[in-house]
Each structure stands twice: as C-alpha cells, then as structure tokens.
Amino acid sequence: MKLDRRNFIKLMVGGAVGLQVTPLPWKITDDIAIWTQNWPWVPVPAEGAYDHEASVCSLCPGGCGIEVRKVDERAVKVEGREDYPINPGGLCPLGMGSLQLLYNEDIRFTGPMKRVGPRGAGVFQNISWDEALEILSGRVNVLRRDSRPEAVAAIDGNPVESTASLLIQRLMQTIGSPNYLRVPSFEDTDRMVNLLMQGVDGPVAYDLENADFILSFGCGLLEGWGAPGRILGLWGKWHDRENKRKPTVVQVESRASNTASKADQWVAAAPGTEAALALGIAHVIIKDGLYDREFIEQKTFGFHPWNAADWKEHQGFQGLVLSEYSPRKVQDITGVPAERIVSLARSFAKAKAPIAIWGKGKGDLNGSLYESMCVHSLNALVGNINKPGGVLVLDRLPLKQLPETPLDPIAEAGLKKTPVGAAAGEDSPFAANLLTRFNEALSAGGPSPVELLMVFGANPAFTMPDGGSMRRALKAVPFIVSFSPFRDETAFMADLVLPDHMAFEKWSEIIQPRGVQYPLYGLGKPVVKPLYQTQDAGETILKLARRLDKAAPEAFPWKTFEDIMAYRAEGLFEAGAGLVRYKPAQPPWSWKPFAEPAAGFKSSKDMWQKIKASGLWYQPLDHQRAAMTTFKTPSGQFEFYSTRLEMKLKDLNKAPSSDLVCMPHYAPSSPPSDSSRYPLAMVPYDMVNLVSSWLPNPPFLNKTLLPEQLLKDASYAEIHPDTAKAYGLKQDDLVQVESVAGEVRVRVCLFEGAMPGVVYLPFGLGHTAYDEFSRNKGVNPNDIIAAGADPLSGLPVWWKTPVQLNKV
Amino acid sequence: MVIDLDKCTGCGTCMVACSAENNVSVRPDESDPQRRLTWMRLYKVTNGKPFPETEVSYFPRPCMQCDHHTPCVSVCPATATEMDYETGIVSQIYTRCIGCRYCMAACPYHARVFNWWDGYFPKSKGMTRYLSPEVSPRMRGVVEKCTFCHHRLMRARTKAYAEDRRELEEGEYITACTEACPAQAITFGDLNNPDHQVANLIKSPYAFRLLEKLGTEPKVYYLSSKDWVRKLGDNFLPGQFEPVTKVKMG
Amino acid sequence: MDSALIPEGVKRCSPKAFFFWTLPWLALLLWGGVSAALCLLKGLNQTNMSDYFAFALWIVFDLAIIALGAGAFFTGFLTYIIGRKELKDIINAAVIIGFICYSGAVAMLGIDIGQPIRGWFIFWHVNVHSMLAEVSFCITCYLGVLLIEYIPLILENPQIEKVKPLRLFGQNLHGIMAIFAATGTFLSFFHQGSLGGLYGVMYARPFAFREGFYVWPWTFFLFILSAIAAGPSFTILCTKLAQAITRKRLVPDKAFQTLAKISGSLLGVYIILKIADTLGWIYGITPAAGLAFMDYFKEGPYGVWLLVLEIGVFGIIPAIILLTPSARKSEGWLITGCLMNCTGIVLNRFTFTIVTLAIPVMPFDEFMSYLPTWQEWGISLAVIGYGFLLFSLSYRYLPVFPKERELNPVVE
C-alpha cells in the first residue's frame, strides 16, 4: 500500500480510534494522576528514629522550658515542658517557631566571613577560622602595641551576668579598653530602681503568683513582658473557671492593647504621664491614711520631713506628694478623671496583696527611672515588699565570681582613659558608658575614636531607639566585627563575621529570668549538632585571647567555655542549697514550708552534671526567707529619698540641685519640641507575635499578623478615627509619619482603642537585612524616634516622640 | 475542643504551633488573609465602644469539626473529605482532592484553605529540614484544613496498643495548639466522655459555639464571660441574644 | 477547496473576508490559551480567586452559559418530544449553541479545578451525595448527547456526505434523535437542577440555602425553570445576531415566535415562583439564621438593588414583553425582551455565586473584595471567541438553517 496523504490520514485516524480500545489511554490517565500525587518538588520529610530532648529556650531573657522533638538528628518541633517552673507547658510564638531560625540558611552565617561588597549590602566571602582570628587578633595587637587599646570597643547584648557577658567584659579589660557598652534594656532601669530604693544591684523580683491586685504601669503583660511563658501561663491560671483567687489586674496604658483589653480595668493615661498617675494614687493613699503605717515608720526613709546633718530641711515624700499631686492636678496631666484616680488608689490600698509593676511593653528596652521609682513607691506605701504577692528583695544568684583579671601596663593605662561619649554627672551618675552617647560621639564627624568595634549578641542597628544614630555611628567605625549567628542589620555593616552558634547548637544560660521571684538558673543545651562552621562566641573569645600579645593567657585559664560556666556554677553548689528537679505540684513560689529538703549533691561536678541534664537549678521561696529581710541602702531602709544618689552626686561634686533629684517625681518627658510642627505623639508598641529583639522573626509569625498590621510590604499606624478625620485620612491611606529624626511611610489603621492624638507603630517590622521573609516589610519606629535622655539613667526616651502626619 | 476566650491572650502561638506541627508552607508574603495557609486563624474583635472603653478580644478558629451532616463533607464530589463517626474528626485526603473548592464555599468558618501555590521550600534555605515526617506536605491545587492533629491520635493509639491498652487516657491525645497555648486556653478531650474536662466545661452558661443556629454542630466550643464576645459568636436578631445573668458556680 | 465545503445553494462570503472575520475570535482564543497555559503550569495563583472567593468569575460564567445553553435541550425537547415542527428550523442552531456553551463550560471547569489531571476522580471516587458530582456526571453525559446531536449535522457537510457509510450513519442518527433528545432532556433537567442545588444545599450559607423537596432544595427547580426560560431566549438572540451579521433571514419568524412565547411563559412562571421562594427565604431561612434580611447587604457593593434588578427589572419586564404578542412580534421588543431575560439569568447566577461567597457569615468576619485577573478574563472570553468561531464555521460549512435556501434564493 502506498503511503499517500489519504492513507496517512486513514492510518492516523484509525490508529487514534484504535488506541482508545487499548488500555493505554487509561493507563496514562492513571499514571499522570499518580504523578500529581508524588510531584518531585513536593518535599518528603525523611523518616527516622523519634526522640525528644529537654532543654531551656534562651531566645529571650524569659527562659522557658522546652522539649525539642527530633527525628534522627533533625529537630522537627519545639514544644513546651511541663517539668519546668517558668512555663506550664506552653510557649510563646517565638519559641514555637524557633526552628525556622535554626534551619533557614539564608538568614544565617555558615562560617567565618569577611566583607567583600559595600557595607550594608551583606556580601561576604568565606574564610577559615584561623584566618578570621588572625585578622582580629592582629588588629587588636597592633592597637595595643601602639598603646591605644581604648580604640577597641564592644557592644554586648548578652543577658546581664551571663557568662558570655562576663567573658566579653574580661576580654575588654585584658585588652585594656574602657569602651564596653551594653544595649539598653529594662534590666538597666530595674537594677537602678532596686539600687536606689532598696540598695541591691540586682534584678527586681515580682511575686505575681501571690498577688491579688496588680497595677501595671504600661507593662505588656500579654505582649511579652518579663518571662512571657510565666506571665501568659499565670494569665491562664488566674482565669481558670475554678480559680476563686483571681487577682484584679489594672493596666495603665494609652492604647487598648491586649493587656489593656483583657485586664479587669484599663486606665488610659496620656503616654509619658504614668509617673504623675502613680503619685496621684500615692496622694490619695496618703491623704486617706490607707498606707501601711508600720512599714512606713519602721522600714522606710524619706517619707516624713527631716533635717539633714547640715541642718538643711527636707520635705519628704509625703509632703511632696500631698502638695504636688492632688487627683485634680493629676487629672490635668494624665487625662484620667480624678474620681477614677481616687477609686483606683482606694482599691489598690485595700487589697490584701497589691503590687505595682513597671517596665514598658516587652521590656526589651529601658524605662524611665523616675517613673519606675514613682511606681515602686506605691509598693512601699502599701508595705508590700518582701511579703507574699509583693516585690521581693533578692540577692543575686550565688554564682562564683570570676577571679580578678590580671592587667598588663598597657591595659592598666587603657582602662584609665575616658570612655567614648562618657559624661557621668547629675544626668547619669551611675552609668559610665551609654550606647546612645557613644553613638553620638562616633557620628559627630572627624576621625573615629574607635577603630575596632566588636558586636556580641546584639543587633543595635535595628533595635536602638535612636532615630538611626547607631547606624550612623557604625558607618564611622573603620572596622566592625560581628559575632552574630544571623545576617542581621548590624552584621551587614561588619567587615569580619565570626558567627556564633544558634541557640539550639550550644550551651546557654538563663540567669534569673526577668522578674521571677525565686532564684533560678536555667541552662539550655545543644539539641542538635552545629549545622555549619560556626563557633560558640565564648570559645571564639577564648581562642582570640590566646592569640593576643602577652596579657591574655593567664587571664583566661579555662580550656573551654563550658568550663567557665561550670566554674561559676560552683557558687550554686557552695550556696549549699537548690534543687534540679521541678514538680508542678510543688511550686517554688509557694510561701508554705517547702516539703522537700535541698537536694544533696556529692560535688560541684555532680551538681553541674545534674543541671546539664535537667536544665535548671532553683531555690524555693521558702528557702529564701532569711535572705529577703534587709534593705542594703545606706540608711538600711527603703528609701523614698535616695541617700546613695545624694552621696554619689556629692562625690562627683554635683550636689543635687533640689530634693527632687533624689526622689520619685514626675517631669514631662522629652523636651517640648515645636508643637505646631509636631502636634501628635508617636508611641511604639510591642506585640508578642513579632520579634523586636536582636533576633530575626520566624516566618511562621508572619502568619499571625492581622490584615490591619501588614499589607504586602506596608505596615500600619494605629490612629483614632477622630485624629484620622482631622487629617482627612481613611483606613488604608498611605501616610508619612514625620519626626525631627526622620520619617516613615505607613498605612492608616483606624482603631477606636487608640488614644486621640497619638500614632501607634509596632516594634519588630522594617528589617533591612535577613531574607525575603523579613526584609523591607513595614517600617521600624526606631528610625524616627528622637531619643532624648531619660534624667538620671541617661537611657533613651523612646516611648513618646512628637510627630506630624503628612498624607501621601 | 473547648477554647476559653477569657484566657486567650491573642498571642498567636496556636497558629505557629499548628503550622510547625503540620508542615504548613510559609510564603514570603503572608499578609493576604484570603490566600495564606493557616489551619488555625486568630480573629481580632472589638467591642465597638469608643475610647477609652474599647476592648479587643480574639477568636482562635480551628476547623470546627462539624458533626452530623457537615457542610463540607457532603458537598465534596470526590469523597476527598470524610467525617470519621468514631472520632468525629473531619479528614482531608490531599491526594484525592481535585481542588474544586466546593467545600470551601460551603464552610462558613473559612476553616479550609487552598494551596494556591506549590509549597514554598526553597532549596537554598534548607527549611525542609524541620519538616515532620508525620504529616505529608501538600501539593498545590488541593484544599487543606485542620485535622485536630490526627497523626497525634495515631501516635497515642500506637503507644497505647504497644502497652496493651485499648482506651486512651485523657490528655494522652491533644492537638498541637492545645499543647502550645501558653495560657492554657484550649482544653481538648472527648466531648462524649463525661469524665473528660471538656464535657464538663461545655455545660457552663458561658459556653457557646460559632454560628450555632446554622445547625452545623461544631465540636469546638468557646467560653467567654463577656456578653459582647459571646454575642459575636452567632448572628442574632434584635432581642434574641440572652446575656448570662445568673451563674451557678461549680 | 473552500467552495467545495460550502453547502449547496447558499451564498457565503469570500474566504478572505471569512478569515478576517475570524481574527478577533482567534485573538480571544490565543489570549485564553496563554491564560490557560499559565493557570495549568503555574497554578491557580494566576487568578484572583481566594479562600473567600473559592468560586469566582469562571463559575459565574460557567453557570451562565450552561443556563443559556439550555436552549439546546429544551428546543430539542419541544421539537422531538412535543413535536413542534416549526422549531426544526432552529433546532440545529440551538444544538450548536448548546454544544458551544457546554463544551466551553467543561473546558473552563477543567482549568478551574486545582488538580485538573485528577479531575476524573469525581467519577472514580464519586460521592453520590454531592450536587457537584451530579452536575459533573450529567454534564459529561449530556455533552456526549450534544455531540451526538451535533454529529449528523457535521456529516451533512457536502464533502463528508460523499462518503457513503458516514452519510448513512448520519441519517440513522437523525432517525433516532428523539431518543437522544429525551435523554438530553432528562440529563439536563438534572444538571441544571443540581447547579441550583449546588448552592441551595449550602446550609451554612444562609444567603444561598433553601429548603426544598426531598433531597432537592427549591433552587434545584428554580434553576431548571430559569434555564429553560432563558435558554430559548438566548437561542433567539444568537440566531438574530447571525441574521444581522449575515444580513439574511435564516429562520422563519414562526420559530422565533414559538420560542419567544414559550420563553416568556416559562419566565412568567419562574418569576412567580422565584418571588415566592425569595419571600420564603426572607421570612424563613434568614431569621432562623439570626439574620435580618438587610443584614446581607451591610457591607460591600452588593446591595438589595441586585435582587430588585434581577427579579423586577430583568424578570417581570421581559416576561411581560415576551408574553405580549404585539410586543414580541416587533423585532426591537423581541430582542429587548430576550436580552433582558438572559441578563436576568446571568444576574441570578452571579448573585448565587459571588454574593453568596462575599457575604461574611461569622459576625466578626470581614467583607473581602474580588476582581478577576486578565487570566480569568482571558479564559472566560476565550469561550466567547470559541463560540463565535465554531458557530461561524458551522454556519459556513454546514446546513445549519434548513430554511436558509428557501428564504434566500440565490440570484444568479
């Protein structure tokens, strides 16, 4: 048969019809359906042996107990632990999503690197650890040889008193530079309040578990304040249907936050006037005679008028409050009706165990010192200090001190130099180094006094509430070394990166979780082997120290970083007490006699092994009673008037200009800028489901953002509908929020719960580094915060910035 | 499941825990509530009062696991979703789903979400490393939904059988969100078992279900002592809503 | 070559003119092709559909063209079963329009589902309780019936007719067409109904939910009725359009009048029942769900005016026009009536699809908006392009209108 066109068509048609009666079409149909069920680009998680590892989360100072589920060597889920005293089984969103920080390679440094691209672009090249350490030690050695060790500076974001932090300080001492700077946090304010009023340079402990009236001045209890696992867990317990002892929670805040809404009462005081409100309450308590006379008479100083040794007359707290803070006056300052202040004061004072707490938002940032003192004086008025449900005066954890750092002549000379940007005096007598001043000095122009800056466990380029001053300062520093495990904003500016492990790859301590009222030492363990060529920053410091000329070796006699942690923990053993197992039935915050005696440990080594296994060491309150009796102020009493401060100022030849300097009082925050130009106030707020610390945000958390918080790349400013109306703004309108420091562009979210005249921006958005999950999403309020200095503490005033709105 | 809205702080851990447990894909842009994948969704509500009486609250919304004739199961043309009469869990068979989305149209809770994209697991990120082998990641073009962490039930059962038990203890099987909630706002158990806490909790005068009037018979209950919150749980004609006035304790 | 394919005794435009005429439709098809390829390769993220708008433009379009395509089965029913001989002059056109509508709809559905390759799971893993399964079965079967109804016409092409076995096959098919018409009618009744049922059974969506008879909600019957009321109108419109474009009379007026009268009467009945249904819904289902009627229209652009428009303007008025003999005898009024009738039905399908999904049921849920992407429009409009193309080709090469020769004697 000839294959002409006709036959060809016949053949094709015949063939096509014929195929239909074969199984082939059916087989193909079935096969491609099966193919869609097994698409090769849909991942198939590897199977393996299931296991779980108990540890402690060190991603925030709250330190929750965690249990990491593993499949072979892979960690697949982080869950809460029930045998840990902080969190009753639950976790916060960050902890829950933290594996995305471990396993997202795009946001991590996979090994030591040096910068090859322009600064800020994040282009780096791999180098070896040897080379990296050689570069760094070489630079330090050169500066030391030139007798300019003070040209080295370090910024430290590790928790206060953590071994990592101590080691960094030690390194700086050995090098001989006074330029050791800490990232401001609430810890700073807390400690200063504690020192001035109670005489202890340690964290403040709140016995919330036993309180029956909680008066919170802006604390984001549900936004991540303190140890979030503890507070959120408590919240649940308080609201248990069977719980008959639910405390009354009153939230003082200008915005209907989650805490304000869920609290029993919301008091909307104008932002920055909380101190006045606290003193207004104090006024009512004193005037109505509702204060704890016994406590005031026997255990406080500065309440009544007194004559000092120089016959100078002092008004005293009572006189100050009664003359200056009548409810009427306070109403004018705060906007809170006078009757409300009176009733609030009465219900606070009449409660059995009332506690007034302070610390704005999550507490990642500092607060106002005087304001915190005002709030704390309420606790003293009702005498609820060192009593169940009050503020407890605890000693620091009995960790062993590191031996004195041996100094060589270069170091000795260097340490005597004035720190960069230092200005100790009446405006900040207790802070030698302030990061904000350091930044100002660096960005002032001219040759940089700092030639080598090391950044540890911090991302100040993103977190500093300073209108971009930190970023300008970084630009001025010739050489920056980052120890961050993450490709964050600060690391992007670095010339050399010596990446730390991510928290799950190393041992990390939680030394007294923020706000907790019983001694607790948490220890997070490496739950997975390090994924990349990273190195524990502690080890890196030890290795660096060995490469430094002369001075170093004897200052760092330890082999490994763990050795130092174990060395310090010997102090816990020597304290002769403490437990390493926690049973939910026997909470350490109970004031009842603790049935179980302190565990006996054979040796400090034995104890350390046990701590490593369980992840904790703690002492029940019952074992602490003896420790919490005395105030360690110069007067030995709770001080409404800080004699320590008075003495300090006299030492500095800056005698207090008035009594007010040493006493809790209200002063309007932030210098009144041109109010016609900036008639509104920008108040940033924290969200528990958005990471605003130095860590990146796990992408899972993006799912929890509400539609009115982020739309594509635009974040929102919450504004009261009336304010919006005055500016002709509607929901979703684009608007520029402008302050002296700069401007950011956001969308408008109309929110009835926003105070009129205030613009609210969330912390945690607006990253310029990391990867596509975070980069360029929303704006960072820090960029427009015009940071004034908080009187006395010198820390930035970030909670209120005068702004203007410009419709785009 | 019983969710206590008085305890719920709106932190979103339940959403994160759910996504982590069930290998839910995350895309760079998750800001579109109409298209992001989440089995548990947190709704923010306000009492509508002017400043400073404004209050916000939250509704965490998993799949309601409707009983009886579920709106979604009966409509699926390909039997890709079923209600297990023994456990009451509404399942979803991803490999059978053809992606017609009729179930989504039928569900008034928006509990079902569609894979508009392939799962986002770029090789360079290595984020497949945290995926759990207990839940298979989904392909694009199929509907997914909360399964009450069905694999956890399987896990608990396997364990019980290995120990020669046929009945699960209360608390042996709980969902990831229940476990994760830092405020313990979620209680999980067998509603039909009078010994279980949930069976007791739903007797509260404060207990209610979402859109109860539609007859979907959800197996997720909410508790709230606030009238305005309870009132948002369903549609009410004027005068129809009855505030709780007398509460018996216990 | 081209002239050999054209039926005898009729006049067609030049191949060149015809080619230019097809260009816009080919362009639409190309647009649709690109859109379809994108949707199939990249997934449905190419559309603006969402978890809220699970059904969107495509489903509206689908439902609309299936309803409008009802002219095919209903005219077939009238022609072959009832025996209205005058409709033989229009039945071919009706069948082709029906075929276009149904095949277009099925093709769109194929793209609309997330896993088209697994689409056949509906048949394999069928859930008999699902209205969508019923729809799928009936539509697929009915598409087969339409094809069978269409084939004899294709076989009448002068070139194909030359092949004896095919000619005989075609004639035999003609002979038994009544059986297929009956089958088609049966199938169509069911799937038109099921499409209505699709919404009516969504008992958790009070806007769409309807009580009903046995397993079928009232929408089941209303959809059948509205489809057979609008279908003939659409057939009339299409044929009138063909007449206008070809500038010829193709169908005797009697056929139009019969269809128009029937369309009008059915529309009248439908509107009465629809009003009754709406009242039942307003006073029964709506308050039972805790809603007041106006609660449905609190947010978004879809107001109660849609309902007024659908029932009042595009329901009662066309019914009156088509039922008034003098009106429907006037060309202008006839077309207006048919057009309004069809608009009403499209509006009805739109309301059931989009408005149902747009209205939040949970009190704290928010109203979301939806606008189709160019890909969605592309695929929808491609069906129109495809329709024009297939109809034009059929008209050019097949004896679609038996009376064409008689009405337009070729003047030599």
DSSP letter at A146? Answer: T
- Mutation site for C-interface testing, chosen from A29, A39, A706 by largest number of C Cβ within 10 Å: A29
Contact map slice: C 254-273 vs A, CB within 8 A: none
Q: In the structure, what pLDDT confidence band is assigned to residue A413 with cuts at 50, 70 and 90?
A: very high
CB-based contact (8 Å) between A46 and chain C? no
The half-sphere exposure of A746 on its side-chain side, counting CA atoms within 13 A, is: 30
Residues 6+ positions from A70 with CB-CB distance below 8 Å:
A50, A51, A52, A53, A76, A527, A528
CB-based contact (8 Å) between A38 and chain C? no
- Distance between CA atoms of A447 and A731, rounded to whole angstroms? 48
**Model pLDDT for residues A655-710, shown as the tens digit of each residue:** 778 899 999 999 886 555 667 889 999 999 999 999 999 999 999 999 999 999 99
Q: How much of chain C, in percent, has pLDDT values that exceed 70?
A: 99
Q: Decide: C242 and C391 in contact? Cβ < 8 Å.
A: yes
Please list every residue in chain B whose beta carbon sits closer than 8 Å to the beta carbon of residue C287.
Answer: 237
CA C340 to chain centre: 15
Q: Which chains touch C (3 or more CB pairs under 8 A)?
A: A, B
Please list every residue in chain B whose beta carbon sits closer than 8 Å to the beta carbon of residue C197.
Answer: none
The shortest C-alpha distance from C180 to chain B (Å) reads: 26
Q: Decide: A209 and A243 in contact? Cβ < 8 Å.
A: no
Of B11, B24, B126, which is closest to A232 when you measure between CB atoms? Answer: B11
- Identity of the residue numbered C55: F
Please list every residue in chain B whose beta carbon sits closer than 8 Å to the beta carbon of residue A698.
Answer: 16
Residues 6+ positions from C412 with CB-CB distance below 8 Å:
none
β-pair type (A758-762, A734-739): unpaired
Based on C-alpha coordinates, what's the Rg of chain A? 29
Question: Is the pLDDT score of A455 beyond 50?
Answer: yes
Say if the Cβ atoms of A29 and C366 lie within 8 Å. no
**3-class SS of residue A115:** strand
How many residues are present in chain B?
250
Q: Which chains touch A (3 or more CB pairs under 8 A)?
A: B, C
- Distance between CA atoms of A591 and A587, rounded to whole angstroms? 9
Mutual angle of helices A129-145 and A537-547, in 10-degree steps: 50
Residue of C nearest to B106 (CA): C202
How many residues are present in chain C?
412
- Distance between CA atoms of B201 and B199, rounded to whole angstroms? 6
Of C115, C118, C132, which is closest to B102 when you measure between CB atoms? Answer: C132
Residue closest to A103 by CA, chosen among A783, A773, A756: A773
Phi and psi at A155, nearest 5°, equal -110, 125
Least confident residue range of A738-752, C164-178, C225-239: C164-178
- With left for phi above 0 and alpha for psi between -120 and 50, is residue A670 left, alpha or beta? left
Mean per-residue pLDDT over chain A, rounded: 92
Q: Decide: A536 and A164 in contact? Cβ < 8 Å.
A: no
- Distance between CA atoms of A86 and C408, rounded to whole angstroms? 93
- Mutation site for B-interface testing, chosen from C215, C285, C364 by largest number of B Cβ within 10 Å: C364
Say if the Cβ atoms of C118 and A36 lie within 8 Å. yes
**Model pLDDT for residues C252-300, shown as the tens digit of each residue:** 999 999 999 999 999 999 999 999 999 999 999 999 999 999 999 988 8
Q: Decide: A391 and A754 in contact? Cβ < 8 Å.
A: no
- Distance between CA atoms of C102 and C384, rounded to whole angstroms? 12
Question: Is the pLDDT score of B250 beyond 50?
Answer: no
Tell me what the mean pLDDT of segment C222-235 comes to. 94
How many C-beta atoms lie closer than 10 Å to residue A116's C-beta? 10
What is the pLDDT, as a whole number, of residue A798?
A: 93
CB-based contact (8 Å) between C118 and chain A? yes
- Distance between CA atoms of C305 and C297, rounded to whole angstroms? 10
**Model pLDDT for residues A577-597, shown as the tens digit of each residue:** 789 999 888 899 998 888 776
What count of CB pairs under 8 Å joins A to C?
12
- With left for phi above 0 and alpha for psi between -120 and 50, is residue A321 left, alpha or beta? alpha
Tell me what the mean pLDDT of segment A291-315 comes to. 90
Residue closest to B92 by CA, chosen among B46, B14, B37, B129: B37
Phi and psi at C24, nearest 5°, equal -60, -35
Say if the Cβ atoms of B141 and C51 lie within 8 Å. no
Sign of CA dihedral A382, A383, A388, A394: positive
- Distance between CA atoms of A698 and A322, rounded to whole angstroms? 50
How many C-beta atoms lie closer than 10 Å to residue A3's C-beta? 8
- Distance between CA atoms of A539 and A562, rounded to whole angstroms? 9
β-pair type (A265-267, A248-252): parallel
**Model pLDDT for residues B179-236, shown as the tens digit of each residue:** 999 999 999 999 999 999 999 999 999 999 999 999 999 999 999 999 999 999 999 9
Q: In the structure, what pLDDT confidence band is assigned to residue A1 with cuts at 50, 70 and 90?
A: low
Q: Decide: B40 and B62 in contact? Cβ < 8 Å.
A: yes
How many C-beta atoms lie closer than 10 Å to residue C84's C-beta? 18
Angle at C71 between CA C70 and CA C76, to 5 degrees: 105
Question: Is the pLDDT score of C66 beyond 90?
Answer: yes
- Distance between CA atoms of A279 and A429, rounded to whole angstroms? 24
Residue B213, CA distances (Å) to A207, A472, B233, C91 in order = 45, 60, 10, 49
Question: Is the pLDDT score of C380 beyond 60?
Answer: yes
In sequence order, what are the beta bridge partners of A52?
A69
Q: Decide: A468 and A783 in contact? Cβ < 8 Å.
A: yes
Residue of A nearest to C124 (CA): A30
Question: Is the pLDDT score of C41 beyond 90?
Answer: yes
Mean per-residue pLDDT over chain C, rounded: 92
- In the block, tokens 């302050």 appear at A739
**Model pLDDT for residues A214-223, shown as the tens digit of each residue:** 999 999 999 9
**Model pLDDT for residues C85-108, shown as the tens digit of each residue:** 889 889 999 999 999 999 999 999
Question: Is the pLDDT score of B243 beyond 50?
Answer: yes
Please list every residue in chain C whose beta carbon sits closer than 8 Å to the beta carbon of residue B140.
Answer: 43-44, 114
Say if the Cβ atoms of A33 and C366 lie within 8 Å. no
What is the pLDDT, as a whole number, of residue A281?
A: 98
Residue closest to C88 by CA, chosen among C261, C254, C244: C254
- Distance between CA atoms of A521 and A523, rounded to whole angstroms? 7
CB-based contact (8 Å) between A36 and chain C? yes
Q: Two tokens at C173? A: 């098919």
DSSP letter at C28? Answer: H
In sequence order, what are the beta bridge partners of A760?
A683, A718
Q: Which chains touch B (3 or more CB pairs under 8 A)?
A: A, C
CB-based contact (8 Å) between C123 and chain A? no
Say if the Cβ atoms of B105 and C363 lie within 8 Å. no
Q: Two tokens at C287? A: 């308050």
The half-sphere exposure of A791 on its side-chain side, counting CA atoms within 13 A, is: 18
Q: Decide: A426 and A656 in contact? Cβ < 8 Å.
A: yes
The two most distant CA atoms of chain B are separated, in Å, by: 60
Say if the Cβ atoms of B74 and C289 lie within 8 Å. no
- In the block, tokens 């048949």 appear at C123
Q: Decide: C79 and C91 in contact? Cβ < 8 Å.
A: yes
Contact map slice: C 361-400 vs A, CB within 8 A: 366
What is the pLDDT, as a whole number, of residue C411?
A: 62
**Model pLDDT for residues A95-145, shown as the tens digit of each residue:** 999 999 999 999 999 999 999 989 988 899 999 999 999 999 999 999 999
Question: Is the pLDDT score of C151 beyond 70?
Answer: yes
**3-class SS of residue A338:** helix
- Distance between CA atoms of B49 and C106, rounded to whole angstroms? 51
**Model pLDDT for residues A610-663, shown as the tens digit of each residue:** 999 999 999 998 888 777 778 999 999 999 999 999 998 888 887 778 899 999
What is the pLDDT, as a whole number, of residue A727?
A: 96
